[in-house]
Amino acid sequence: MGKKEAMIQALMRELELRKEEFQEEVVDCIYFGGGTPSVLETHEIEQLIEAIYENYQVSNDPEITLEANPDDLSEEKIEALHASPINRLSIGVQSFFEEDLKLMNRAHNAEEAVRSITLSRKRFQNISLDLIYGIPEMSTTRWIKNIEQALALGVPHISAYALTVEPKTALEKFIKKGIIPPIEDEVAQAHHAILVERLEAEGYENYEFSNFGKSGYFSRNNTAYWEGKNYIGIGPGAHSYNGKRRAWNISNNPKYIKAIAQDQLPQDVEALTPTDQYNEYVMTRLRTQDGVSLKEVQILFGEKMYTYLLQQAQSHIENHLLFQEENRLYVTKKGKFLSDGIAADLFMLNLSS
């Protein structure tokens, strides 16, 4: 048995081993992400989806997304995916400019980025593309051109993220040596503000800080995550969450396959205290257009945490970073880019549970 086949068999077995965890749930979205799932052949994708249907309750019209890089999406690959149960593509474009792609060490070029989306739109209606902003030496003009190119391609969903420098990468080395200038938060903030204004003018809703969708095209996967719904992650390094605990699988492929072959789940588990659950709720909801429900905080976490939240929020309300409306807390336009920092100020620490 080859490594790829062994991995697929392990994934299918993990799905079976964990079905009891999701007995009360209905699966509404299936997401093939992490690494490069587009290396899977159509029949392999179908095997995995079939295993989900065999072991879990699945809704009548689930959103089934595949992450793919532009260089993976040949015309033949797109045709094969269209013939499979996949009904949504998330394409990792990152930028439509060669200099940005080279800096981020991407395998595709700008021409492939445009071509992959143009071809995909012939077969898929539900497409998302990723963009990166705050890239060193990316001018405001170039960022606007990136946005305009994305809009011209007519995709109904766009995800945009600030560039982060991962440790032990070529980018980190170049910045340390002064070959590339460091990332500037002020530039990233300005880029995000331009993005919000431009996409909202074109009818996209900024339903979560990094995600923009036309009506009917919000990612169910993203929405479920930011609404704190339960999810199961299958495979090496995958994370799972059920409101009360968080679990993550070992990242080592051979060790993962060996453990699953012995019907063991190779995962670490963290039980979430009431304080953890409150902090998680505040962090995720504050990033969304629906904000934090004060009533839900009161019901789920009690009067003490509810009062604490209002007290902590007051200074941000006075500084016009938060506002309260109809028993909900929202970030203002001014506060949007600072939402994670604001959430941290609202966290409760050192509470015995």
Q: CATH assignment of 26-226?
A: 3.30.750.200
Geometric angle at alpha carbon 295, from 290 and 297, rounded to 5°: 85
Q: What is the pLDDT of residue 183?
A: 81
At 1, the pLDDT band (50, 70, 90 cuts) reads low
User: Rounded to an integer, what distance in angstroms lies between the CA atom of residue 275 and that of residue 255?
Assistant: 33
Q: Among residues 110, 262, 133, which one has the least CA distance to residue 185?
A: 133
Question: What 3-state DSSP class applies to 244?
Answer: coil
DSSP secondary structure letter of residue 183: P
pTM of the model: 0.93
Q: How far is CA 330 from the centre of its chain?
A: 21
Q: What is the pLDDT of residue 245?
A: 95
The overall average pLDDT reported for the chain is 94
Q: What is the pLDDT of residue 351?
A: 52
Residue 352, pLDDT above cutoff 60: no
User: Rounded to an integer, what distance in angstroms lies between the CA atom of residue 155 and that of residue 114?
Assistant: 11
Place of tokens 């257009």: 289
Average pLDDT over residues 259-270: 96
Residues 307 and 286: beta-carbon distance below 8 Å? no
Average pLDDT over residues 243-263: 96
User: Rounded to an integer, what distance in angstroms lies between the CA atom of residue 237 and that of residue 234?
Assistant: 8
Residues 330 and 322: beta-carbon distance below 8 Å? yes
Residues 8 and 46: beta-carbon distance below 8 Å? no
Q: What is the pLDDT of residue 353?
A: 43
- Digit-coded pLDDT (tens) for 62-116: 999 999 999 999 999 999 999 999 999 999 999 999 999 998 889 999 999 999 9
User: Rounded to an integer, what distance in angstroms lies between the CA atom of residue 103 and that of residue 105?
Assistant: 5
Q: What is the pLDDT of residue 268?
A: 96
Residues 6+ apart with CB under 8 A from 129: 90, 91, 92, 93, 117, 150, 153, 155, 157, 158, 159
Place of tokens 């013939």: 83
Residue 13, pLDDT above cutoff 80: yes
Question: What 3-state DSSP class applies to 69?
Answer: coil
User: Rounded to an integer, what distance in angstroms lies between the CA atom of residue 339 and that of residue 335?
Assistant: 6
Total Cβ atoms within 10 A of residue 206? 21
User: Rounded to an integer, what distance in angstroms lies between the CA atom of residue 22 and that of residue 231?
Assistant: 8
User: Rounded to an integer, what distance in angstroms lies between the CA atom of residue 310 and that of residue 147?
Assistant: 37
Q: CATH assignment of 275-346?
A: 1.10.10.920
What is the domain partition of the chain in residue ranges?
26-226, 275-346
